[in-house]
Amino acid sequence: MKYYTSTSDVQCGVPPIPPNEMSSNIVGGEEARPNSWPWMAEVIKTPTHHYCGGALLDEQWVVSAAHCFKGHISEYWFSLGGHWSASYYPSDYETNRQTCRALKIIQHPNYDENVRGYDIALVKLAEKVTFNDYAQPVCLPDKRPDDGQMVYVTGWGDVEYEGSSANKLRQVSLPIVSDRECEWVYGRQKIDDTMICAGTDSGGKDSCNGDSGGPMVEKVVQGSGFQKREFWALVGIVSWGSGCGYPGIPGVYTDVDNMRSWIEDTMANN
The CATH number of the domain holding residue 192 is 2.40.10.10
49: helix, coil or strand?
strand
Mean pLDDT of 113-138: 96
% residues pLDDT > 70 (the chain): 90
210 inside domain: yes
pLDDT on residue 13: 93
What is the pTM for the complete model shown? 0.92
173 and 89 within one domain: no
- What pLDDT, on the 0 to 100 scale, is given for residue 3? 47
Whether residues 122 and 169 share a domain: the answer is: no
Cis previous bond, 47, omega within 30? yes
Q: Using CA atoms, how far apart are residues 266 and 251, in angstroms rounded to an integer?
A: 27
Residues 175, 121 share a domain:
no
Range of the domain at 42: 38-137+262-268
Residues 242 and 162 both lie in one domain: yes
CA–CA separation, 150 vs 63, rounded Å?
Answer: 22
Q: Is the model more confident about 208 or about 142?
A: 142
224/160: higher pLDDT: 224
In a domain, 10, yes or no: no
DSSP-assigned letter for residue 169: -
- Assigned domain for 33 exists: no
Residues 111 and 50 in one domain: yes
- pLDDT surpasses 90 at 14: yes
Identify whether 183 is part of a domain.
Answer: yes
How many Å from the N-terminal Cα to the C-terminal Cα in the chain?
A: 31
User: Could you tell me which residue, 20 or 15, shows the higher pLDDT?
Assistant: 15
Do residue 83 and residue 53 come from a single domain?
yes
Q: Which residues pair with 251 in a beta bridge?
A: 198
Q: Which of 108, 119, 206, 207 is catalytic?
A: 119
In tens, the pLDDT along 28-86 reads 457 899 999 999 999 999 778 899 999 999 999 999 999 999 999 999 999 999 999 98
Cα(211)–Cα(152) distance, integer angstroms: 13
Most confident segment among 45-49, 154-158, 233-237: 233-237
**Residue 171 lies inside a defined structural domain of this protein:** yes
Q: What is the pLDDT of residue 48?
A: 80
Residue predicted with more confidence, 227 or 41: 41
Residue 157 shares a structural domain with residue 252: yes
Has 67 been annotated as catalytic?
A: yes
Model confidence at 25, pLDDT cuts 50, 70, 90, reads very low
In a domain, 8, yes or no: no
* Catalytic-role residue among 108, 212, 239, 255: 212
What per-residue confidence (pLDDT) applies to 26? Answer: 58
Exposure string of 158-168, with b = 16+ CB inside 10 Å and e = fewer, is: bbbeeeebbbe
Do 172 and 102 have their domain in common?
Answer: no
Q: What's CA 238's distance to the chain center, in Å?
A: 6
Per-residue confidence (pLDDT) for residue 9, from 0 to 100: 66
Q: pLDDT: is 137 or 9 the higher one?
A: 137
Q: What is the pLDDT of residues 177-213, one digit of tens each?
A: 999 999 999 998 899 999 999 999 988 888 888 999 9
Residue 251 falls within a domain, yes or no?
A: yes
Q: Let me know: does 213 contact 118? Beta carbons within 8 Å.
A: no
Q: What is the pLDDT of residue 92?
A: 59
Could you give the number of structural domains in the chain?
2
Least confident interval from 13-17, 73-77, 174-178, 248-252: 13-17
What pLDDT was estimated at residue 167? Answer: 87
User: Are the C-beta atoms of residues 220 and 226 closer than 8 Å to each other?
Assistant: no
Query: Do you find a cis peptide bond into 215, omega within 30 degrees of 0?
Result: no
206 catalytic? Reply is no
d(CA 154, CA 207): 8
| Co-location of 59 and 117 in the same domain | yes
Catalytic residue among 50, 67, 83, 108: 67
Q: Do 159 and 253 share a domain, yes or no?
A: yes
Does residue 128 sit in the same domain as residue 98? Answer: yes
Residue 56 near residue 39, CB atoms below 8 Å? yes
CB atoms within 10 A of CB 236: 29
pLDDT at 162 > cutoff 80: no
pLDDT average, residue stretch 88-92: 65
| In-domain check, residue 97 | yes
Residue 119 appears among annotated catalytic residues: yes
Co-location of 100 and 161 in the same domain? no
CA distance 91 to 162: 25
